Amino acid sequence: MTTLSAASIPRTAREQARADVLAELKSIGRRHLAESGSAALSLRAVAREAGMVSSAIYRYFPSRDELLTALIVDAYNALGAEVERADAGRRRSDIAGRWMALCRGVRGWAIANSHEYALIFGSPVPGYHAPQDTVDPASRTTLTLVSLLHHGMECGAITNTGGAVPAPVRKDLIGLNSLSGMDIPAAVMLRGLAAWTQLFGHVSFELFGQFTNLIHDRDTFFAVQMKLVGQQVING
C-alpha cells in the first residue's frame, strides 16, 4: 500500500543517517517493549539510551503512538514470517500436519515475544487507534491460513460439507476471498475462522494468565486442543 519501496531507499548521506537512527530507535524501543511491556515504553527512555535529548526523538516519531505503530507493524510481520516458515516446512499436501505446524508457530512466537503478542492481540492501547499501515502486515498471518484451506480443498482433504450460512455472514465470508484471490466456500471459511479464533483464543488465554492454576502441562494441552480443532476444520 504505502510507497515503501520508493521512499525508504536512502539516497543522500543525510537520508542514510536518518534511516540508521530510525532503525536504532526502533530497535531500542523493541527491546524496551520486550522487557517492560507497552505501557512502560517511554520516548524519553528510548532517546536517553540512544544518546540524544528527549526533544530530539520527536524528529523521528511525532508521538509515542507513532513509535508503537512502527513496533506493531514489525510485530505483525515477525509473526507472519514465523507462521509462513512453519507452514513451508511441511509437505504441501499434509494439511493436518501443516495446521499443527502453523499452530505451533503462532504459539511459539507468542511465548517468545509475549509483549509484542499482547501489543497486537491484547487489549488495544488506550487512546490509540491502529492506522491503516497495520492492516497489510496483519493480514499476512491470516493469509497463511486461508491458503491452507485453499490447498486443503484442492487436494480433497477438506470438503465443503455445506450447511446453511445466513446471507449477510455468507457475504462477509466470500468477501474475504477478494483479499486472498482464492475461492473458499462460505461454509469452509466459517470453519476456518472458527479454528482461527480457537487458536488465538487459546494462546491469549495461556499468555494472559487464564490458565493459571488450572492447566499445568500446557504444551500437551495445546497440542490436544489444536488437533481437535484441526479435525473439526477438516471433517466439517
| Residues near DNA, by CB under 7 A | 12-14, 17-18, 21, 41-45, 51-56, 58-60, 62-65
d(C-alpha 87, C-alpha 83), whole Å = 6
Choice from 7, 166, 178, 183 touching a second copy (CB under 8 A): 166
Alpha helices in 63-128 (DSSP H): 64-88, 95-112, 114-121
Which residues, 134 to 163, sit near a second copy by CB under 8 A? Answer: 135, 138
d(C-alpha 140, C-alpha 84), whole Å = 9
Considering the rule CB under 8 A, would residue 81 count as an interface residue with a second copy? Answer: no
d(C-alpha 16, C-alpha 28), whole Å = 18
Cβ–Cβ under 8 Å, residues 72 and 95: no
Cβ closest to DNA, residue 34 vs residue 45:
45
Considering the rule CB under 8 A, would residue 178 count as an interface residue with a second copy? Answer: no
Cβ closest to a second copy, residue 60 vs residue 150:
150
The listed partner (a second copy, DNA, none) that binds 201, CB under 5 to 8 Å by sort, is a second copy
The residue among 25, 106, 107, 111 whose CA lies nearest residue 71 is 25
- The three grid cell numbers given for residue 33, joined into one nine-digit string: 517493549
d(C-alpha 188, C-alpha 81), whole Å = 25
Choice from 3, 5, 12, 123 touching a second copy (CB under 8 A): 123
Helix (H) or strand (E) holding 213: none
d(C-alpha 11, C-alpha 99), whole Å = 43
CB of residue 25 to a second copy, shortest distance in Å: 20
The listed partner (a second copy, DNA, none) that binds 99, CB under 5 to 8 Å by sort, is none
Q: Give the residues lining the site for a second copy (CB under 8 A).
A: 36-40, 118-119, 121-127, 130, 135, 138, 165-166, 168-169, 171-172, 176, 190-191, 193-194, 197-202, 204-205, 208-210, 212-217, 220-221, 224-225, 228-229, 232
